[in-house]
Amino acid sequence: MMSYIPIAASPQYSTVTLQVGLKERLRCLHISDTHLLFSDGRDCRAKYDVALRRWGEYVYANVGRNVTYFLDALLYAKRNGLLLLHTGDLIDFYSPANLEAAERLLELAGVDCFLCAGNHEYTNYSGQHPESREEQEEARREVPKIFADRLDFASRIIGGVNFIAIDNSSGFFPEESFDFFNAEAARGLPMILLIHIPIYTPGVLAMLRDEENVRDFGLCAIPENLPGAGCRYAPTDAATLKFVRRLKSEPLLKAVLAGHVHAHRNQMDELAANLPLLVAGGGYYGCGTIIEIS
């Protein structure tokens, strides 16, 4: 087998072991928040300008390498026989060029990829320019076409593990999450859940506050009455909190994977007893987690 030589600076891959009772080991690479930034003459000038501005934010100012680190992840997964798990924001905004790049990179690498939607998958301008209803509808229509699995609710059994994905990119879990999750649990297989926005834990919040200097916390299911001096917390609702309690009570759920926070490293925390929350750092920083499942 060819040795793996990173394209960019060495990726920051940590390793986590999950014991779920498999007969044969299954290896995965979890990454998130690649934020592909391709735009061309098919786009309006406003979108092209957003692409240039965002390139400066992600690639220049942050010393990020979104394309090269994504290629590193694809090559590493390919050469080591890993399933690629991506927890959203593969693209930074909807554009034909972004979809073509994502589709062709995955196809050329020949890597099996299971992913969930992020809050950028359906945006046209990354929140930096007004969007028309027609633009929003086009993004909702076109983006799912390039992916093998649905982006709202999806499941795939691989190597004896039921990988499931739920779109919580709004910051909330939809009401339909209960029926979907209960049906998947009824299969009786160990499950790993992919979401984009991490569910609140004290450890994730502390890492963002103390290491990333975050004061505006966009986590899911943040409880009320947290200390608020100088901080802002994303809202939640009763259905989301109830669904998180359902997740924490399910013995077949073995891990929850998320991204979104753009940290400079990966974070592992405990969502409940024997239920780890694995939050991938920014993909454009080269963050990722190798998950050994046995």
* Predicted model pTM: 0.94
The confidence score (pLDDT) of residue 41 equals 94
| Contact of 37 with 59, CB cutoff 8 Å | yes
Distances (CA, A) of 273 to 249, 254, 255: 9, 10, 11
CA 72, distance to chain mean position in Å, is 17
Q: State the Cα–Cα distance between residues 163 and 158, nearest whole angstrom.
A: 7
The confidence score (pLDDT) of residue 244 equals 98
Tokens read off for 156: 């795939």
Q: Extract the residue ranges of the chain whose pLDDT is less than 70.
A: 1-10, 60-63, 229
| Contact of 34 with 86, CB cutoff 8 Å | yes
Rounded (10°) CA dihedral 48, 52, 58, 59: 130
The confidence score (pLDDT) of residue 9 equals 52
| Contact of 145 with 211, CB cutoff 8 Å | no
Sheet hosting strand 26-31, strand order edge to edge: 12-18, 287-293, 26-31, 83-86, 113-115
DSSP assignment letter at 3 = P
| Contact of 1 with 275, CB cutoff 8 Å | no
Q: State the Cα–Cα distance between residues 99 and 117, nearest whole angstrom.
A: 13
Place of tokens 């499942």: 293
Nearest to 36 by CA among 76, 83, 96: 96
The confidence score (pLDDT) of residue 257 equals 98
